[in-house]
């Protein structure tokens, strides 16, 4: 019995005397919501900026300091690796950085063009705090630091706000794709596809956007705007997909959710707007000795959103005409995206992986030269478009406008 | 090995009484009534409630001794009249007069003939009347119990919404009658014994013969007989002597103040122990799941019974690990908390001077103080204290920045959750273990909590209550018992009694008792 | 021999928990690429065969544990020495698994706590439970089995609801042919975790119903194999081969990707709880079999007395086993399966079967 008592006492002492190592009080943590990577002033250095949340400005029902402070603030530091910068920041910050709630990483466009993004993501994999679910964006037209420094209306923390914008626009406009860190890593490593990252720019004056006064007028001087999709080869940025090309890309990748397609009608250019509700695409590969043929089949459905031409939608020929125009318009945009990718010699669609899935042996031989071979491949696009509903009315009022007799 | 002062003093007393022997032949009644009179006065003393009445029937002297405060005086008078009314001339029949009195007394009630002095005193002190007749070295005692008792009222601790509302009182006779009224079967047997050297408390064991395993009855009797102490005032004291694992924080004996609960448990093959002077009956053997069962589970339909049972288990878990999970999440695993919630918590914790663990400890201790004060305080002061408690601990502390509002919420939820456990003694275990888990959480986060829970589960598994594993029917897993374990299946599907507790007589009801709607316009048909 | 009896359900539960142990959370068979789950399948088939071997010997001597019938079959002295080797083997295995467990817990959240403290806590818990006896361990196993199943189901549901599962990541099947699959299955997935069932040969005599030993073990092994295959499949589908094969704790990566409505996120504790319960069981069973073997060999009456010294031995050994995580994994993948697991899990039992069979032949002749 004596031995048992000793053990019990020893165990209790173990708790009391030795202390707890991994304990971190909430008040010792600086919660990072986003961070930005720019080129540092010296060779081989990065300038890393962290956006840190100010809790008392954000919580409801808690007395804040009179609303003078911004909901988040940023702090920058240089370092040869990101981790070095993180530790160096402790010189400037009273708390330890906490990464588990980070949602956004912004990369400078020039950095992406010149040095590439290959070295930026190791931290996310290795550390158990940083999450693979963080989103990535490329800063366009400004440096990444300014993007993070913005003060945004409606929701407080610009890091989270930007991610929300990305999610929202991916759903309703489908010109940009939400990319997380593990998608980027998988894209970098894979031989059969290349990574893409959406871009973000500031619409307005960046300097105005950093002050709280940005929120004080009804006409907000500076706002963040998601814009374009960046394509990469070998980890370096090689081109931007905008507008129609970006949509085409989304179509092929089966990521198209919903968007508005404008088509011409007899009298007006762009008089018809079709709202896409569903879109599915599938890619098949045919490997022949000399070249490869890809078949992209797209099936989509939509409704008539706006009609400014005097066409009577109660007649099925009109509907069929619209469906045909829709298919043609879709094919046009898809081909523009594919041409762009083939010109730049980047397989952003993952055609190589399709070959891998369907014919692994052929892929083994082809994979080394794939990016070059890809540009020689032939892509056949077939679009089936259906317009299901014309909305709440059949004939637009334009048709009924009486002709004025002067 | 430990020498309780009670046991020690018995031996001391015994030696002393053996020395002084002023009355001749101990410990029996003497035939000489004068000697008896003297002895009564010496043994009982001058307590004014001990009444000694002398009668003289012709030349026969009889004394009746009873305790005024314990008897019903009408019954006493009736008894004496019955016993001492004799036909002419019978009182002079010196040899047979004892039997005559005995026969007459028997007409009115059951009598006992006692020779041992201690037994006579005992019977007087429990409300009997003793008749001592000159010339005979025996006494005739008759039962004349009476006196003020608390009437049967509503239970105070185990209340139900639907179901019988009578509860046990302090008199064991009333309690026995309450149980007998519910089980009118000849198989309901009762055995009594007296425990406690000075208090001589009557303790009764009730069981259903034919359902109970005989080994169990033996074991219970053995454990009760082993108790040698000077006083037993409540069933809780008996519980402490007969329980299997005194060092465990979990109770292995179930107590209840409801007769319907006792009756149901008896029908499952358990044994009930009733103690005179205590409205709480003990029920053995006990299973862990019993503490989560409330009588009204069985009086409702099974849907709500299942829901309530699950709710109780969840709230037990909350009351056990509530504050610990919060502490672990806030200090070790901040990534677990959703971002917006984390920001709110961080905001409310700005400016709080204590680390989370100390804050939790302060609030929990304060809550325990309030809870205890709530039980002890006189009714008149009740309102003031609850207002003070709510305002001070809740509002003012948060606004002063001593604790964060989240902490108050967590402590309040934990407190409320701990009240949903029907059995108070189990809720106490959760309260105590909560603090241990909090320390584990504060030092090692979730790892500590998980290890603590594993230890608790292992500990529960190692407990046995009178030979039955404590966590049956969960482990060892007995599927046929699951119907009344954690959930409650409809009554028409509970065919068998719990398997481990009774090996014989396991069939409870016939099969096919599920009711179904009427068919053919006739009466509701039961499938044959 | 203690008068301990465990029921078949309890045996089932503890076998499953033992097999899942730490293998659920590491990348099992990832050297086979996208076909890791096939490698596990092959390992399972091998494990079932091994079980048949153990069962055969058990049926000859239904009341003796491994150390017992070793002496009967191979003779008193040789058998005793082999029994001693097995005891050391179990201790070594317990220490290895403890080290595995400590390292995984370290990198998943407790990266500032010294390893000795993490391990010490687990050993203290295990000593407490074993002190109460094997029956308590078995019953606790029954309870925790339900906990793990529920945690697992919750995790799987959450993963599916987050929409991160992409079957295309697992296609094509057998893209590199059968060779890598075989290489991964033998000896790695075969010996870890299926071959470690040899520890249970010490525990079979405790079962209530001895005829059903094999049936229960087959079922339990199949269930654990199914769970492992499904989890590997899920890991590959959710995070992709790339990250799964390169990470030390793939389940944590998968669970880390769960994000439902931006509210339920970072539910790491699902994988941590699985790790703790699995690790607890594996180490305690190996620990207990070592104690049992030693008690049987050295004729010790009260097993509880051995618990304390063994716990200290295992704790210290777990720290000495390797200097860093890389060395530990390399040993575990390359050295241990070939040179230590194979002979003791397959070699010697096969030898025993042959000897028994011969003797029976000779006896009938």
User: How do residues A263-281 score in pLDDT, each as one tens digit?
Assistant: 877 767 777 888 888 888 8
A175 has a pLDDT exceeding 90: no
CA B263 remoteness from chain centre: 14
C105 has a pLDDT exceeding 70: yes
Of A144-153, B447-456, C82-91, C262-271, give the lowest mean pLDDT range: C262-271
Query: Under 8 Å CB-to-CB from B83, ≥6 apart: which residues?
Result: B101, B104, B105, B108, B131, B140, B142
| Residue C3 falls inside a structural domain | no
The pLDDT assigned to A100 comes to 83
A285 has a pLDDT exceeding 70: yes
B509 has a pLDDT exceeding 70: no
Confidence of residue B434 (pLDDT cuts 50, 70, 90): very high
Q: What is the DSSP letter of A132?
A: T
| Residue C1 falls inside a structural domain | no
The pLDDT assigned to C102 comes to 87
B333 has a pLDDT exceeding 80: yes
The pLDDT assigned to A12 comes to 67
Nearest-angstrom CA–CA distance, B319 and B413: 8
B456 has a pLDDT exceeding 90: yes
> If you compute the radius of gyration of chain C from its CA atoms, what whole number of angstroms results?
20
CATH code for position C195: 1.20.1740.10
Nearest to B330 among A15, A26, A55 (CB): A26
Nearest-angstrom CA–CA distance, B83 and B63: 12
Alpha carbons within 13 angstroms on the beta-carbon side of residue B174 total 21
The pLDDT assigned to A348 comes to 85
Average pLDDT (B323-348) is 86
Residue C306 C-alpha, separation from nearest chain A C-alpha, in angstroms: 13
Concatenate the DSSP letters of all residues of A334-394 into one string: HHHHHHHHHHHT---S-HHHHHHHH-HHHHHHHGGGHHHHHHH-EEEEEEEEEEEE--S-S
| Parallel, antiparallel or unpaired: strands A104-108 and A135-139 | parallel
Nearest-angstrom CA–CA distance, C45 and A282: 38
Q: What is the 3-state secondary structure (H, E, C) of A139-155?
A: ECCCCHHHHHHCCCCCC
Give counts: helices (H), strands (E), chain B. 16, 12
A174 has a pLDDT exceeding 80: yes
**Using the beta-carbon criterion (under 8 Å), do B338 and C143 form an inter-chain contact?**
no
Q: Residue A353: its chain C contacts at CB < 8 A?
A: 168
Structural contact between residues C298 and C84, judged by C-beta atoms closer than 8 angstroms: no
Nearest-angstrom CA–CA distance, B167 and B159: 10
Q: What is the DSSP letter of B148?
A: -
Q: What are the residue boundaries of the structural domains of chain B, listed by start?
A: 26-143, 172-286, 302-468
Confidence of residue B14 (pLDDT cuts 50, 70, 90): very low
The pLDDT assigned to B454 comes to 92
Closest residue, chain A, to C249 (C-alpha): A128
Average pLDDT (B29-34) is 76
Q: Which two tokens stand for residue B158?
A: 């185990």
Helices (H), B235-338: 235-242, 259-267, 302-331
B452 has a pLDDT exceeding 90: yes
User: How do residues A25-42 score in pLDDT, each as one tens digit?
Assistant: 888 888 888 889 888 888
Q: Which domain holds residue C206?
A: 8-364
User: Cα torsion for C6, C12, C16, C21, to the nearest 10°?
Assistant: 0
Nearest-angstrom CA–CA distance, B62 and B131: 7
C236 has a pLDDT exceeding 90: no
The pLDDT assigned to B19 comes to 40
Q: In the block, which residue shows the tokens 């909560």?
A: B434
Domain count of chain C? 1
Residue B171 buriedness (CB in 10 A; 0-12 / 13-18 / 19+): middle
Between C65 and B22, the higher pLDDT residue: C65
Helix (H, G, I), strand (E, B) or coil at A218: coil
Nearest to C136 among B339, B450, B458 (CB): B458
**Which residue from C213, C202, C227 is spatially nearest to C41, judged by alpha carbons?**
C227
Element (H, E) at A277: strand A272-287
The pLDDT assigned to A20 comes to 66
**Using the beta-carbon criterion (under 8 Å), do C277 and B454 form an inter-chain contact?**
yes
Q: What is the DSSP letter of B111?
A: E
Of A337-346, B151-160, C254-263, give the lowest mean pLDDT range: C254-263
**Using the beta-carbon criterion (under 8 Å), do B451 and C121 form an inter-chain contact?**
yes
B505 has a pLDDT exceeding 70: no
Main-chain phi, psi angles of A211, to 5 degrees: -100, 160
Domains and CATH numbers, chain A: 25-241 (no CATH), 242-406 (3.30.300.210)
Q: Does B247 touch chain C (CB under 8 A)?
A: no
B29 has a pLDDT exceeding 80: no
Residue C161 C-alpha, separation from nearest chain B C-alpha, in angstroms: 17
Query: Under 8 Å CB-to-CB from A4, ≥6 apart: which residues?
Result: none
| Residue C2 falls inside a structural domain | no
Q: Does B492 touch chain C (CB under 8 A)?
A: no
Q: Which two tokens stand for residue A72?
A: 């988040």
Q: Which two tokens stand for residue B265?
A: 């448990």
Residue C349 C-alpha, separation from nearest chain B C-alpha, in angstroms: 32
Q: Does A7 touch chain C (CB under 8 A)?
A: yes
Nearest-angstrom CA–CA distance, C217 and C211: 11
Q: Does A257 touch chain C (CB under 8 A)?
A: no
**Which residue from A19, A16, A11, A87 is spatially nearest to A48, judged by alpha carbons?**
A87
Q: Residue B467: its chain C contacts at CB < 8 A?
A: none
Q: What is the 3-state secondary structure (H, E, C) of chain C?
A: CCCCCECHHHHHHHHHHHHHCCCCCCCCCHHHHHHHHHHHHHHHHHHHHHHHHHHHHHHHCCCCCHHHHHHHHHCHHHHHHHHHHHHHHHHHHHHHHHHHHHHHHHHHCCCCCCHHHHHHHHHHHHHHHHHCCHHHHHHHHHHHHHHHHHHHHHHHHHHHHCCCCCHHHCCCCCCCCHHHHHHHHHHHHHHCCHHHHHHHHHCHHHECCHHHHHHHHHHHHHHHHHHHHHHHHHHHHHHHHHHHHHCCCHHHHHHHCCEECCCEECCHHHHHHHHHHHHHHHHHHHHHHHHHHHHHHHCCCCCHHHHHHHHHHHHHHHHHCCCCHHHHHHHHHHHHHHHHHHHHHHHHHHHHHHHHHHHHHHHHC
Look over chain A and give the mean of its residue pLDDT values, rounded to a whole number: 82
Nearest-angstrom CA–CA distance, C21 and C195: 13
C241 has a pLDDT exceeding 60: yes
Q: Residue A5: its chain B contacts at CB < 8 A?
A: none
Chains in contact with C via at least 3 Cβ–Cβ pairs below 8 Å: A, B
- Most A CBs within 10 Å: which of B327, B330, B332, B347, as the mutation test of the A interface? B347
User: How do residues C144-182 score in pLDDT, each as one tens digit?
Assistant: 998 889 888 888 888 888 877 777 777 766 667 777 777
Residue A297 β-bridge partners: A282, A382
Average pLDDT (A175-183) is 86
Query: Under 8 Å CB-to-CB from A197, ≥6 apart: which residues?
Result: A107, A117, A136, A137, A138, A179, A184, A229, A230, A232
Nearest to C139 among B333, B455, B476 (CB): B476
């Amino acid at each position: 019995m004596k031995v048992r008592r000793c053990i019990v006492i020893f165990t209790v002492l173990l708790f009391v005397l030795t202390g707890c190592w991994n304990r971190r009080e909430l008040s010792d943590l600086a919660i990072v919501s986003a961070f930005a990577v720019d080129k540092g002033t010296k060779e081989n250095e990065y300038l890393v900026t962290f956006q840190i949340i100010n809790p008392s400005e954000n919580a409801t029902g808690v007395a804040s300091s009179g609303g003078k402070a911004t909901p988040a603030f940023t702090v920058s530091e240089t370092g040869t690796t990101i981790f070095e910068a993180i530790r160096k920041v402790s010189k400037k910050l009273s708390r330890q950085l906490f990464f588990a709630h980070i949602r956004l990483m912004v990369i400078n466009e020039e950095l992406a063009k010149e040095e590439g993004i290959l070295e930026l993501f190791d931290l996310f994999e290795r550390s158990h705090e940083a999450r693979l679910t963080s989103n990535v964006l490329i800063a366009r037209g400004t440096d990444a630091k300014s993007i993070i420094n913005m003060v945004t209306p409606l929701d407080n923390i610009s890091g989270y706000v930007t991610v929300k914008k990305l999610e929202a626009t991916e759903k309703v406009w489908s010109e940009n794709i939400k990319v997380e860190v593990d998608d980027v890593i998988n894209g970098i490593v894979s031989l059969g596809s290349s990574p893409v990252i959406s871009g973000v720019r500031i619409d307005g004056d960046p300097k105005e956007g950093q002050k709280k006064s940005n929120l004080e007028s009804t006409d907000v001087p500076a706002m963040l705007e998601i814009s374009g999709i960046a394509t990469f080869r070998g980890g370096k940025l090689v081109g931007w997909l905008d507008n129609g090309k970006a949509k085409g890309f989304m179509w092929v990748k089966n990521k198209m959710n919903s968007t508005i397609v404008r088509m011409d009608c007899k009298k007006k250019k762009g008089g018809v707007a079709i709202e896409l509700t569903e879109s599915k695409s599938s890619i098949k590969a045919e490997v022949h000795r000399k070249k490869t043929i890809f078949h992209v089949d797209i099936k989509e459905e939509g409704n008539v959103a706006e009609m400014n031409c005097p066409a009577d939608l109660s007649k099925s020929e009109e509907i069929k005409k619209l469906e045909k125009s829709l298919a043609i318009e879709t094919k046009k945009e898809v081909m523009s995206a594919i041409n762009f990718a083939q010109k730049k010699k980047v397989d952003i669609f993952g055609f190589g992986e399709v070959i891998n899935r369907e014919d692994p042996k052929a892929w083994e031989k082809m994979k080394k030269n794939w990016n070059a071979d890809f540009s020689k491949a032939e892509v056949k696009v077939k679009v089936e478009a259906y317009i299901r509903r014309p909305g709440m009315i059949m004939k637009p009022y334009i048709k009924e406008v009486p002709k004025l007799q002067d | 090995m430990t020498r309780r002062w009670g046991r020690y003093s018995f031996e001391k007393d015994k030696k002393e009484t053996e020395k002084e022997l002023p009355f001749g032949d101990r410990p029996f009644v003497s035939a000489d009534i004068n000697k008896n009179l003297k002895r009564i006065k010496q043994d009982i003393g001058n307590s004014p409630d001990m009444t000694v009445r002398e009668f003289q029937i012709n030349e026969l002297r009889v004394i009746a001794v009873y305790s005024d405060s314990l008897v019903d005086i009408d019954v006493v008078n009736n008894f004496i009249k019955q016993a001492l009314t004799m036909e002419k001339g019978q009182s002079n029949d010196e040899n047979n007069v004892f039997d005559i009195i005995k026969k007459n007394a028997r007409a009115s009630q059951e009598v006992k003939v006692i020779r041992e002095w201690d037994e006579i005193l005992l019977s007087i002190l429990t409300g009997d009347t003793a008749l001592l007749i000159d010339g005979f070295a025996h006494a005739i005692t008759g039962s004349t119990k009476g006196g003020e008792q608390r009437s049967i009222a509503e239970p105070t601790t185990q209340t139900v919404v639907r179901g019988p509302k009578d509860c046990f009182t302090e008199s064991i006779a009333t309690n026995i009658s309450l149980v007998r009224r519910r089980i009118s079967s000849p198989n309901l047997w009762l055995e009594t014994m007296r425990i406690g050297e000075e208090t001589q408390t009557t303790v009764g064991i009730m069981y259903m013969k034919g359902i109970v395993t005989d080994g169990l009855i033996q074991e219970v009797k053995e454990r009760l007989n082993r108790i040698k102490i000077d006083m037993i005032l409540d069933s809780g004291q008996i519980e402490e002597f007969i329980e299997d694992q005194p060092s465990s924080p979990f109770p292995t004996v179930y107590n209840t103040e409801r007769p319907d609960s006792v009756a149901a448990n008896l029908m499952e093959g358990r044994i009930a122990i009733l103690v005179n002077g205590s409205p709480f009956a003990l029920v053995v053997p006990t299973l862990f799941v019993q503490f989560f069962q409330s009588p009204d589970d069985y009086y409702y339909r099974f849907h709500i019974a299942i829901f309530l049972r699950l709710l109780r288990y969840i709230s037990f878990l909350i009351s056990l690990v509530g504050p610990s999970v919060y502490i672990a999440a806030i200090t070790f695993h901040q990534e677990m908390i959703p971002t917006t919630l984390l920001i709110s918590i961080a905001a409310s914790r700005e400016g709080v001077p204590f680390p989370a663990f100390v804050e939790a400890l302060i609030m929990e201790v304060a809550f325990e103080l309030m809870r205890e004060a709530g039980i002890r305080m006189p009714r008149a002061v009740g309102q003031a204290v609850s207002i003070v408690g709510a305002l001070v601990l809740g509002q003012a502390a948060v606004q002063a920045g001593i604790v964060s509002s989240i902490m108050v919420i967590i402590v309040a939820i934990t407190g409320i959750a701990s009240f949903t456990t029907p059995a108070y003694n189990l809720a106490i275990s959760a309260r105590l273990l909560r603090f241990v888990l909090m320390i584990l959480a504060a030092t090692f986060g979730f790892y500590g909590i998980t290890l603590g829970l594993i230890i608790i589960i292992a500990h529960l598994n190692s407990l046995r209550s009178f030979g039955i594993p404590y966590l049956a029917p969960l482990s060892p897993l007995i599927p046929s018992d699951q119907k009344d374990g954690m959930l409650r299946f409809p009554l028409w599907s509970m065919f068998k009694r719990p398997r481990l507790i009774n090996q014989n007589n396991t069939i409870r009801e016939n099969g096919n008792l599920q009711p179904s709607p009427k068919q053919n316009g006739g009466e509701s048909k039961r499938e044959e | 021999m203690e008068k301990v009896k465990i029921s078949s359900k309890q045996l089932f539960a503890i076998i499953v928990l033992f097999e899942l142990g730490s293998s659920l959370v590491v990348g099992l068979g990832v050297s086979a690429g996208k076909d890791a789950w096939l490698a596990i399948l092959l390992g399972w088939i091998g494990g079932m065969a091994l079980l048949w071997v153990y069962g055969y010997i058990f049926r000859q001597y239904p009341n003796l544990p491994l150390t017992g019938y070793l002496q009967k079959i191979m003779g008193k002295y040789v058998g005793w020495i082999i029994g001693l080797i097995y005891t050391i083997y179990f201790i070594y295995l317990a220490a290895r698994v403890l080290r595995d467990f400590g390292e995984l817990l370290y990198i998943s959240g407790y990266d500032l706590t010294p390893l000795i403290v993490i391990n010490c806590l687990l050993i203290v818990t295990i000593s407490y439970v074993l002190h109460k006896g094997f029956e308590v361990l078995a019953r606790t196993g029954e309870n925790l089995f339900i906990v793990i199943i529920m945690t697992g189901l919750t995790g799987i549901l959450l993963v599916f609801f987050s929409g991160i599962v992409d079957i295309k990541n697992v296609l094509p099947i057998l893209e590199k042919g059968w060779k890598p699959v075989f290489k991964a299955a033998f000896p790695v997935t075969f010996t870890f975790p299926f071959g470690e069932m040899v520890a249970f040969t010490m525990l079979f005599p405790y079962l209530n119903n001895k005829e059903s030993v094999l049936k229960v073990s087959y079922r339990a092994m199949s269930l654990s194999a199914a769970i492992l295959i499904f989890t590997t499949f899920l890991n590959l589908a959710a995070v992709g081969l790339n990250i799964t094969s390169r990470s030390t704790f793939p389940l944590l990566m998968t669970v880390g990707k769960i994000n439902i409505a931006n509210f339920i996120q970072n539910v790491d504790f699902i994988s941590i709880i699985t790790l703790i319960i699995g690790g607890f069981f594996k180490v305690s069973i190996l620990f207990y079999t070592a104690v049992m073997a030693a008690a049987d060999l050295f004729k010790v009456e009260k097993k509880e007395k051995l618990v304390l010294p063994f716990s200290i031995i295992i704790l210290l050994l777990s720290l000495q086993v390797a200097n860093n995580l890389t060395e530990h994994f390399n040993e575990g993948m390359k050295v241990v399966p070939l040179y230590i697991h194979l002979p003791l899990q397959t070699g010697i039992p096969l030898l025993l079967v042959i000897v028994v069979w011969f003797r029976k032949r000779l006896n009938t002749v």
